[in-house]
Amino acid sequence: MARTPIPARAPLAALAALAAIAGLAACAPASADEDAADGVRTLVVATAADPRPYTYVGDDGELTGYDIEIVRAIDERLPQYEVEFQTTDFQGIFPGLDSGRYDIVANNLSVTAEREEKYRFTRPHITAQFGAVVRTDGGIGEIGSLDELAGLTTYGQPGLNFTKVLEAHNEANPERAVRIEYTELDLQSQFNNLLAGRVDFLFVERVPFEGYGKGDPGLAFRELPGEYLESSFGTNLDSALAFSPQSDDVDRVVADFDAALEELKADGTLAALSEEFFGADLTPKE
């Protein structure tokens, strides 16, 4: 669009108005300045770069992972958007979504009822298996509920879906409570501490176990029945991309991403990415 020249002796009122407009533009959220000259909108995608293999920094120093490569594949199919990744600690993800600083979060987020009240989600791109990672010499066999882990100690990271399930269990069953040690340790350190006997189990998904612990003969994964988790805690085992309600025209953007995800599922790209990062097809079967 051609610019209208400003007279050399522009009235002070006009200059003041221009200054005010410039100030407003400087304060606009990330998603409001997306319209460049080519009409491509920039979407800011936040991730904590953990846990591996959903999102992490590879040996080459580049951000990658199942969630990250899905976003990149979507971006290739939607020329009207350009994604910009920003890494942050996990505790900063939701405040960033709330404020509109981030348009999207790609971090293996479970689609919980609580989160759905605040954020928009795409269709799921993975179905999880929750369970306890235990030491093989710890005397913990197959488990059907968290009741069987009463009195044992595990780590809990504030805000994670796993931690909220443990907290809900403890509130409903104080006589069979699990001991939660709150931590910000990365998963590798948590697995190391489990092997060292500092905690009794880790409450995680099967995928992180495959990535961090499967190669160690001293560890085993005890899956919790999905039906138990869903009926007792309303746990949704599906994960998806989350969108800020503050993001401009969020309904349209989510619809565009969903359409691209449908294409990725239909042409086998989702399954191929799942095989690449997990060694199995964990995509939803609906």
Q: Is the pLDDT of residue 187 over 80?
A: yes
Contacts of 178 (CB under 8 A, 6+ apart): 146, 149, 150, 151, 152, 153, 154, 166, 169, 170
pLDDT, position 280: 83
Regarding predicted confidence, which is higher, 266 or 159? 266
Average pLDDT of the segment spanning 6-29: 39
Q: Residue 226 — pLDDT band, cuts 50, 70, 90? A: confident
Distance from C-alpha of 18 to C-alpha of 74, rounded to nearest angstrom: 38
Domains of the chain: residue spans and CATH:
27-127+238-278 (3.40.190.10), 130-233 (3.40.190.10)
Burial 236-249, CB ≥16 within 10 A → b, else e: bbbbbbbbbebbbe
Quote the pLDDT of residue 278.
Answer: 87
Strand partners, 204: 131
Percent of the chain with pLDDT over 90: 67
- What length does the chain have? 286
Reported as a pLDDT band with limits 50, 70 and 90, residue 12 is very low
Residue 44: other Cβ atoms inside 10 A:
21
Preceding omega of 158 cis (within 30 degrees of 0): no
> How confident is the model over 195-205, as a mean pLDDT?
96
pLDDT at 27: 41
Average pLDDT over residues 242-257: 98
Q: Name which residue leads in pLDDT, 215 or 54.
A: 54
| DSSP codes of every residue in 29-97 | -GGGG---TT-PEEEEEEE---STTTSEE-TTS-EESHHHHHHHHHHHH-TTEEEEEEE--GGGHHHHH
pTM higher than the cut 0.85: no
Average pLDDT, the chain: 87
Q: Please name the amino acid found at residue 143.
A: I
Measuring CA to CA, how many Å separate 201 from each of 122, 141, 162, 197?
32, 12, 13, 9
Q: What is the mean pLDDT of residues 217-244?
A: 90
* CA dist., res. 66 & res. 77, Å (int): 17
DSSP state of 267: T
Confidence of residue 98 (pLDDT cuts 50, 70, 90): very high
Average confidence (pLDDT) over 173-197? 95
Q: In the predicted model, is pLDDT for residue 28 greater than 80? A: no
Nearest to 241 by CA among 99, 2, 44, 80: 44
At which residue do the structure tokens 């348009």 appear?
Answer: 103
Confidence band of 37 (pLDDT split at 50, 70, 90): low
Residue 156 or residue 213, greater confidence: 156
